[in-house]
Amino acid sequence: MNHKEDSLETIVSQYQDLSFNSLINYYSSKGIFLNLDTFKENLGLLTDDGKYNLLAQLLSDNSHINIRVAVFAGKSKADPMFSVKEFGMINLLLSLDKVLDYGDTFNIPQADERNRIVTRKDIFLFDANAYREAIINAFVHNDWTTNNAPMFTFYSDRIEILSHGALSPKLTIADFYKGKSEPKNKKLSDIFIQLHISERTGRGVPTILNSYGEKAFEFANNWIQVTIPFNFINVVDYQISPNVVNISGEYVVNKSLNKSQILILKSLRNNPTITIEGISRETGLGHTAIQNNLNKLQNINIIKRNGSRKSGYWEVLK
């Protein structure tokens, strides 16, 4: 009769040697200074018997949770994987920032020359606000009690953001679409609001709906997924040798690239600010070979360098 549903506050963390330096610094960066003597109680990081709970574990310097972003070459997980980025094993708030920043890096503007009269217009690959709201919702509403993190997957034509846990039985899908919320992780939601990461206005889902409609959402018994499609305005690809997979797996133009150039392009698409040393680590190519191929790719207008050598980034044009 007195049984309480398991939650971030009631589940005792298996890790009791936790530290919170990053949490204290994160709050300070937002202009909020935690009382070092009472913040654990105030934020709900302790169980009734004074042990660290699962919320404390997530907000500690090491959450002990893997949070990954996977990037695939084509439209399914059967296609070759470009990379897997690890953003976990740190304070959950920092993991959130890293996933959000990764989306910003991926969302490079496309020059829209269609019907150009005076100035060109930049069109982004996807709606940044919708992406932000979907990522924040995935963190806030994920069922962390299962020790499963949200899944973030980038394909050649879309992003899939999956959070574990079903829609609250107190909400209908119609309520959900209206922006009504019944947070599974109440304390975590309160912290996000306190730090101005999210709001109580219920604008997250409507923001996604405004850009992508109801088809962006998929509901199952134990997960909810948001799909954000890419808006390509200049869809091109590369004709490559038979033993190398196409960059997007779909469109082909009459340009022939060698295997080294394909590997370099994968690195640039995954991380536009990557250095030659970084490309070398990812591809196994030597510095001279990388520089020569970068020069060739620039000469045939496949890539462009924006900004200085130290602080600029690579833009894949086609």
- Condensed to tens digits (0 to 9), the pLDDT of residues 59-100 reads 999 999 999 999 988 888 888 887 889 999 999 999 999 999
Structure tokens at 110: 């496309």
Q: Which residue has the higher pLDDT, 45 or 299?
A: 45
Q: Are strands 217-219 and 158-164 parallel, antiparallel or unpaired?
A: unpaired
Residues 274, 24: Cα–Cα separation, whole Å: 31
Q: Give the per-residue pLDDT at 249.
A: 38
Query: Comparing 109-113, 194-198, 236-240, which segment has the lowest mean pLDDT?
Result: 236-240
Q: Is the pLDDT of residue 280 over 50?
A: yes
DSSP string, 91-113: -HHHHHHHHHHHHHHH---EEE-
Helix, strand, or coil (residue 12): strand
Percent of the residues in the chain that have a pLDDT greater than 90, as a whole number: 56
Nearest Cα neighbor of 73 from 290, 250, 241 is 250
Type and span of the H or E element at 47: none
Q: Give the per-residue pLDDT at 190.
A: 96
Structure tokens at 112: 């829209």
Residues sharing a CB contact under 8 Å with residue 54, sequence separation 6 or more, in sequence order: 8, 9, 11, 12, 13, 144, 145
Q: Give the per-residue pLDDT at 266.
A: 83
Q: Give the per-residue pLDDT at 4.
A: 60
Q: Is the pLDDT of residue 127 over 60?
A: yes
- pLDDT tens by residue, 170-194: 899 999 999 998 888 999 999 999 9
The rounded mean pLDDT for the chain is: 87
Q: Which residue has the higher pLDDT, 243 or 206?
A: 206
Q: Give the per-residue pLDDT at 119.
A: 63
Q: Is the pLDDT of residue 234 over 80?
A: no
CATH class for the region spanning 68-229: alpha beta
Look up residue 243 and give its DSSP letter. T
Cβ proximity of 143 and 184 under 8 Å: yes
- pLDDT tens by residue, 16-46: 999 999 999 999 999 999 999 999 999 999 9
User: How many Cα atoms within 13 Å fall on the side-chain side of residue 309?
Assistant: 3
Q: Secondary structure of 204-233 in the HEC alphabet?
A: HHHHHHHHHCHHHEEECCCEEEEEEECCCC
Q: Are strands 256-257 and 303-306 parallel, antiparallel or unpaired?
A: unpaired
Residues 163, 99: Cα–Cα separation, whole Å: 14
Residues 87, 102: Cα–Cα separation, whole Å: 10
Residues 140, 129: Cα–Cα separation, whole Å: 16
- As a whole number, mean pLDDT of residues 204-210 equals 95
Parse the chain into domains and list their residue ranges.
Answer: 68-229, 239-316
The CATH architecture that domain 239-316 belongs to is: Orthogonal Bundle (1.10)
Look up residue 309 and give its DSSP letter. T
Nearest Cα neighbor of 51 from 11, 7, 4, 91 is 11
